[in-house]
Amino acid sequence: MKNRTWISKMVLIMGILSILRLPVKAQEVGEISVPPPAAAVELYNAGLELAGSQQFAEASLKFEEALALAPTFTAARYNLGLIYRQLGEKEKAVEELQQSLSGAPQPAMAHRILGELLADLVRIDEAIEQYEAALSLDETQTDLHYAIATLLHRHAKTKEDKQRTIEAYEAAIEKAPRHSSARSAYSSLAQLYYHAGDKEKALHNYDMACRYDASNADLHYNRGVLLNQMSRIQDAVDALKTSIELESPNGKAQYALAEIYYSKLHMDEKAIDAYEAAAADPHFSKATQARDHAKMIKEYLEKKREAEAEADAAMEEGDGSQ
């Protein structure tokens, strides 16, 4: 009966932590062959009550006292780790959760929590190991595939790191193509391939990202800039126009479009309009430059018209003298 009593109390923490909205719910951590002594269970229950009233520091003391009496009391150690996490003591939380994992089998969420803490502490490979352990226990946590790739991306420095990141994103998309994170994964892959010098693969991933999130102006802008670099001028113009239609004002897309009109298509009037639209965006960092470009083209066109008028006048005068 004692064994059942403390196990039921152990499950109770799930409800308490859920009410308090801690980062995750505590979980039952598996059967323990030897029940902890009654005094340890009493301290453990007192810790639950304190946690229930959000007295986390006091709750941690009760769990610590329970563990002093029963070091193998895995439920107390597990929940102490969660309390430490709530208190912001991440190193202590990692230590307790690692010990609880070695003390008894635990559900996927325990590995996930530990992985998140290790990620916060920039212990990347250890975090990924815990995420993979969570996935091996619960394959429905498909967001962890993307979490692994994002973690690698955030800390990628070398060429090898970036290749590993690419492989992780592609694996995530393969395993969970319908996940809400797929769009950002395609966008990240596009950037990674672009910086690796593979513009074709970068474009493919921007195309896929736009399919998943057709209303994202930034994606169409990035795609337009890339298409311009690939000399696919009309496609670039279309992509930039789409970006402008989706977001207004949109200085950076207007500026990129103006550059194409001026430098590639030699459509000066359209270039002026686009530069002026870019300059009208109060958040665009190159507004002054855009305004200067528009002014320069206007002055050029005015001088050109004056020169043409003078040439016409001279021709008429020559015809008259004959």
Tally of CB atoms within 10 A around 133: 19
pLDDT at position 314, please?
A: 73
pLDDT at position 16, please?
A: 35
pLDDT at position 34, please?
A: 73
Residue pLDDT, tens place only, 147-195? 999 999 999 999 999 999 999 999 999 999 999 999 999 999 999 999 9
Angle, vertex CA 194, rays to CA 190 and CA 200, nearest 5: 80
pLDDT at position 224, please?
A: 98
- Which portions of the chain are predicted below pLDDT 50? 1-32
Helices assigned H by DSSP within 53-123? 56-69, 74-86, 90-103, 108-120
pLDDT at position 306, please?
A: 87
Q: How far apart are CA 229 and CA 227, in angstroms?
A: 5
The answer to whether 51 and 16 have CB atoms below 8 angstroms apart is yes
Torsional class of 241: left (φ above 0), alpha (ψ -120 to 50), beta (otherwise)? alpha
7 burial type by CB count under 10 A (0-12 exposed, 13-18 middle, 19+ buried): middle
